[in-house]
Structure 1
């Protein structure tokens, strides 16, 4: 039986904000992914990095503030650091899980860059809040540098763009590793956003929505399945309301109608819905699923989660 190809998207529930807690959390995700590998899937993993990239940016900016020999890091550097240390934990724990099952499959983390358009309207309308709280004076200095800030209850914080991903530069490397029977971790946190300037790639002050890049990644490796592993049992119509109801299946037409109704949270379920719909629309032979981590194998066999249909 030929292997099917899958992109697995790990949400923030698969990780944690402290190093020890993260290693514990990843074990659950590693078990789910190993189950899928035993079920004859070739897999590429991508993942969230929201809390982690914010932690890195806050810590390094604070260090630069306390010691003027150092400079605050660009967002692109923080993104690459988060890909590295999260991938390090994930690939080692996955390797252990696979070897304990008698499976030999090399696991590799790829630092991944993603092209964005410098004229993307997201740069004029930033939405992603990051970093530490600042005083009004510090916020004014950030604005003088050309950065955007937003006032919150505890103070001021940076707010950056979330542009649309256009191209994954390392996609050929991902495909080559897949063909060589590797389990690949790529495009963590939506990838490092970069602007193409001739032959140079320049890091952008932005954070890409990971679900949008996951769709691009799945298309690039010609995946059969795009699987979002989350902390919820299913997608709910009217989530958090008394009349909320779970959705076992959603057609493309229904999903597009729900998006117009504005019933999904913009920072949570909405990006997954949009990515799933766009992935499904691209081919008759694709499937997209949103399911809880612990039911990943049940989900691909139709026994759990929410399934998207053409």
Structure 2
């Protein structure tokens, strides 16, 4: 009998437990912790497809690229290639860490191996995100650096990021199509646990000559939601830094949400409870999944994933 499928989206920031623990080795150890929790889900009989964020990791590559350019005159790594690089590196760490956990628990044969897939996601070149880029990426710059940056990178758009300095902004278009969907289906059908659409996927546009990469950032939760719908997943689980989504977060009126029908969550979203820079994209992805045929979304922190499925912990968004 086939296993139920859970698409589990983990954040790029979850790989970094502390600002002093940012090395590749530190990130791998953090991933090992998360894979223990995902192995708990697999042990319950689920097959998993894991997606992941990559914001900090892309930032690190961009910074190294800038330093290499200024010191050694090497070429800049395009943003689209940074996304591809992180898909490979983080995917490798996830598949190794999860397979090691499953092997140690004696589940390797029953649960299947894990494989990561470099995944392209098509976006629409007419998406409004391309005309008004607003996704901050990379490092902060002082105001006196801006003229030099604009001379070095005439195609960059730079904007002030609150009071912290200037940063590059890039488009954040909506995902339209998972290019490697058939490969994902084949791997799942063969019994693999799969890592895909890392960082929201490598953004590409379709032209008469074929597919071409573009410098943009696709929201990984929206891409995860799209993929979960197209695979007919039984569950979309979005990991975050808190046990429950809450109304009036960070105020004396804070109230955790547990079981919520999708229409109620849509109302809270419209009322402005979930800012675009924090919980908003996760809630939008959850609503999209349910409205396009999905059954249930769980939002919680990684250590509560198992309890979310067995004891109802976390925030559960369901149909009416």
Q: TM-score range by the shorter chain?
A: over 0.9
Equivalent position of 2:150 in the other structure:
140
Equivalent position of 1:149 in the other structure:
158
Equivalent position of 2:15 in the other structure:
15
Q: 5+ residue gaps in structure 1?
A: none
Residues 106 and 2 of structure 1: is their aligned pair in 2 closer, same or farther, counting only changes over 3 Å? Answer: closer
Q: TM-score, normalised by structure 2?
A: 0.92
Equivalent position of 1:289 in the other structure:
298
Structure 1 stretches of at least 4 aligned residues deviating more than 6 Å after TM superposition:
none
Bigger drift between 59-68 and 256-265 goes to 59-68
Q: Equivalences for 1:258-269 in 2 at 5 Å?
A: 258-269=268-279
Equivalent position of 2:132 in the other structure:
125
Q: 2:87 aligns with which of 66, 75, 83?
A: 83
Instruction: State the Cα deviation string for residues 202-255 of structure 1 (Å, max 9, x = none).
Output: 111111100000001101211010001222010000111110100012211111
Q: 1:62 aligns with which of 67, 76, 81?
A: 67
Equivalent position of 1:251 in the other structure:
261
Give yes or no for the alignment of 1:303 onto 2:312: yes
Q: What SS is found at the alignment partner of 2:25?
A: helix
Q: What SS is found at the alignment partner of 2:85?
A: helix
Give yes or no for the alignment of 1:40 onto 2:45: yes
Give yes or no for the alignment of 1:116 onto 2:120: no
Q: What SS is found at the alignment partner of 2:136?
A: strand
Q: 5+ residue gaps in structure 2?
A: 17-21
TM-superposed deviation, 1:277:
0.9
Equivalent position of 1:5 in the other structure:
5
Give yes or no for the alignment of 1:183 onto 2:193: yes
Bigger drift between 74-83 and 102-111 goes to 102-111
TM-superposed deviation, 1:13:
4.5
Aligned equivalents of 2:139, 2:279: Cα separation in 1: 26
Give yes or no for the alignment of 1:224 onto 2:234: yes
Aligned equivalents of 1:302, 1:260: Cα separation in 2: 29
Instruction: State the Cα deviation string for residues 133-171 of structure 1 (Å, max 9, x = none).
Output: 34122232266x232101354643211111000001011
TM-superposed deviation, 1:287:
0.8
Q: TM-score, normalised by structure 1?
A: 0.94
Residues 125 and 47 of structure 1: is their aligned pair in 2 closer, same or farther, counting only changes over 3 Å? Answer: same
Q: 2:172 aligns with which of 149, 152, 162?
A: 162
Aligned residues: 307
Contact 1:142 1:148 survives alignment (8 Å): no
Contact 2:13 2:56 survives alignment (8 Å): no
Q: What SS is found at the alignment partner of 1:301?
A: helix
Give yes or no for the alignment of 1:107 onto 2:114: yes
Equivalent position of 2:19 in the other structure:
none
